[in-house]
């Protein structure tokens, strides 16, 4: 399956070239489109290859219908949106909740010349969240990690920042049939029971759900629960500060971020932690410094997302195995070292069929959930697309979500001049 996802490249072309070098030479490829022209930093145009070797294969039927595809680059998201409204390009995928909710009120959309649609998918959302660095002594007690999750008010953020567009993530494979739900099945238990001593007992007794705070009263109850857990972990409230009961050391840590946009998420979280006597500082650094610090695990907490596919495999070793925890640059950013998780990862990789894979991934999911590696964030189970009404597309959206390769130009719509004048580009 993994080999089948790799492109076919020309050995002759690359044998005397440095594959890792940056270049503006147009490479020899093997896909349905060829690079026709480009201007670095501005645009690239792909032309359909009429002699594409795979055009008549059944798997490609109905795909690659558009003769030329042009991608324009914009340095500013606001400028990019305004260019779309002016008809400078045909289609955009919207990734900003506020833009989707408030940024598309313009004449062409009201008149039906622009469409604003969502396309559902059943792909694993992966896990995005505030990631603890378990290498830090502060976060090595699971009760501490559990407690801090009660101070993150997702419902407030979704309501006030995201226009109620997101769903709370609870599984590392959310939005798919790989996600663990309910209690473990008999087949899952057969995998989990031999590992019981290395797993939190909740894996066997409770479905994981992140804390919910629908109103201020529920948030106050959550903070009380957090304080109880922190006290059980050896922390005490003294002079409005949370300190270690033995050493008197205050509870403080840093959330490292590379994008200032995360401040609007982090600051409300910090205010709730302050009510517990915890000091969380936000530190924004440039992308190079951020990458260096993350690669060397020099952080207390970061925001990160582990993407997942419908066929999890050996990448799970890189994400969760004890062997990867101390390898600089690995994606085991949490620093997890757990023999049970190691064993479950190997079970996933060795799954002989789809049914076994699903069972093994769900068992792994439970082990990860109850280790409290992250404070889960959110996801959307659909893609948000805005486009000038010149396209046709399949009536049924597949499991994988919207497939733009299967869209086509509708001659009747294109002839009616749906897109604003001045939109044709000749440069």
Q: Give CA–CA dist 17/227, Å, rounded.
A: 60
Q: Give CA–CA dist 51/32, Å, rounded.
A: 8
Q: HSE of 273 in the Cβ direction (CA atoms, 13 Å)?
A: 23
Q: Give CA–CA dist 123/177, Å, rounded.
A: 9
Asked if residue 169 lies in contact with residue 128, where contact means CB atoms within 8 angstroms, the answer is: yes
Beta strands per DSSP E along 246-335:
252-257, 279-284, 301-306
Beta strands per DSSP E along 172-324:
235-238, 241-244, 252-257, 279-284, 301-306
The pLDDT, as a whole number, for residue 161 is 96
- Say which DSSP state 327 is in: S
Percent helix, strand, coil in the chain, to 5, is: 35, 20, 45
Asked if residue 359 lies in contact with residue 188, where contact means CB atoms within 8 angstroms, the answer is: yes
Q: Give CA–CA dist 142/407, Å, rounded.
A: 48
The pLDDT, as a whole number, for residue 423 is 42
Q: Give CA–CA dist 329/166, Å, rounded.
A: 30
Structural domains in the chain, sorted by start: 14-121+382-415 (3.40.190.10), 127-379 (3.10.105.10)
Asked if residue 123 lies in contact with residue 325, where contact means CB atoms within 8 angstroms, the answer is: no
Q: Give CA–CA dist 303/160, Å, rounded.
A: 20
Task: Write out the two tokens for 61.
Answer: 């039927």
- In Å, how far are 130, 215, 231, 416, 423 from 251, measured between CA atoms? 17, 27, 12, 65, 57
Specify the residue for token string 């500082």.
281
Task: Write out the two tokens for 162.
Answer: 């995201």
Q: Give CA–CA dist 236/240, Å, rounded.
A: 10
Asked if residue 246 lies in contact with residue 184, where contact means CB atoms within 8 angstroms, the answer is: no
- Closest by CA to 181, choosing from 217, 207, 142, is 207
* β-bridge pairing 279-284 and 252-257: parallel
Q: How far is CA 127 from the centre of its chain?
A: 6
Total residue count of the chain as it appears in this document: 427
Q: Which helix (H) or strand (E) holds 417?
A: none
Buried b (16+ CB within 10 A) or exposed e, 300-317: bbbbbebebbbebeebbb
Measure the CA angle with vertex 251, ends 245 and 253; round to 5°.
Answer: 155
The pLDDT, as a whole number, for residue 296 is 98
Specify the residue for token string 């004048």.
421
- Report the first-to-last Cα separation within the chain, whole angstroms: 40
Beta strands per DSSP E along 249-314:
252-257, 279-284, 301-306
Cβ neighbours for 358, distance < 8 A, ≥ 6 positions apart: 177, 178
Q: How far is CA 99 from the centre of its chain?
A: 19
Per-residue pLDDT of the chain (427 residues; tens, 9 = 90+): 777 778 899 999 999 999 999 999 999 999 999 999 999 999 999 999 999 999 999 999 999 999 999 999 999 999 999 999 999 999 999 999 999 999 999 999 999 999 999 999 999 999 999 999 999 999 999 999 999 999 999 999 999 999 999 999 999 999 999 999 999 999 999 999 999 999 999 999 999 999 999 999 999 999 999 999 999 999 999 999 999 999 999 999 999 999 999 999 999 999 999 999 999 999 999 999 999 999 999 999 999 999 999 999 999 999 999 999 999 999 999 999 999 999 999 999 999 999 999 999 999 999 999 999 999 999 999 999 999 999 999 999 999 999 999 999 999 998 875 555 444 444 4
């Amino acid at each position: 399956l993994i080999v089948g996802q790799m492109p076919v490249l020309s050995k002759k072309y690359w044998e005397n070239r440095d594959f890792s070098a940056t270049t503006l030479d147009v490479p020899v490829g093997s896909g349905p489109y060829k690079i026709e022209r480009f201007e670095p930093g501005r645009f690239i145009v792909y032309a359909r290859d009429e002699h594409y070797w795979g055009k008549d294969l059944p798997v490609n039927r109905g795909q690659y219908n558009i003769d030329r595809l042009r991608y324009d680059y914009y340095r500013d998201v606001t400028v990019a949106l305004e260019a779309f409204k002016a008809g400078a390009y045909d289609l955009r995928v919207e990734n900003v909740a506020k833009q989707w909710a408030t940024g598309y009120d313009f004449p062409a959309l009201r008149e039906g010349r622009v469409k604003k649609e969502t396309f559902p998918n059943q792909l694993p959302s992966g896990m995005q969240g505030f990631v603890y660095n378990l290498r830090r002594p502060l976060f090595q007690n699971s009760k501490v990690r559990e407690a801090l999750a009660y101070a993150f008010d997702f419902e407030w953020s979704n309501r006030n920042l995201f226009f109620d567009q997101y769903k709370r993530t609870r599984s590392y494979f959310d939005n798919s049939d790989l996600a663990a739900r309910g209690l473990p099945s008999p087949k899952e238990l057969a995998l989990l029971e031999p590992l019981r001593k290395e797993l939190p007992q909740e894996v066997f007794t409770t479905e994981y759900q992140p804390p919910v705070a629908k109103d201020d009263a529920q948030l106050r109850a959550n903070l009380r629960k957090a304080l109880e857990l922190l006290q059980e972990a050896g922390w005490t409230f003294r002079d409005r500060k949370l300190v270690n009961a033995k050493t008197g050391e205050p509870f403080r840590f840093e959330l490292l971020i590379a994008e200032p946009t995360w401040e609007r998420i982090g600051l409300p979280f910090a205010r709730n932690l302050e009510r517990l006597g915890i000091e969380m500082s936000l530190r924004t650094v440039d992308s190079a410094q951020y990458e260096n610090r993350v690669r060397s695990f020099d952080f207390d907490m970061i925001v990160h997302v582990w993407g997942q596919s419908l066929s999890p495999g050996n990448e799970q070793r890189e994400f969760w195995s004890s062997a990867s925890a101390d390898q600089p640059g690995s994606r085991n950013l949490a620093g997890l070292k757990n023999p049970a998780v190691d064993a479950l990862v190997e079970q996933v990789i060795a799954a002989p069929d789809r049914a076994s894979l699903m069972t093994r991934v769900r068992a792994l999911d439970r082990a990860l959930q109850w280790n409290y590696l992250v404070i889960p964030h959110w996801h959307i189970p659909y893609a948000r697309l805005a486009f000038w009404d010149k396209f046709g597309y399949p009536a049924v959206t597949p499991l994988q979500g919207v497939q733009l390769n299967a869209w086509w130009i509708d001659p009747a719509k294109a002839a009616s001049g749906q897109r604003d004048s001045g939109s044709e580009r000749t440069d």
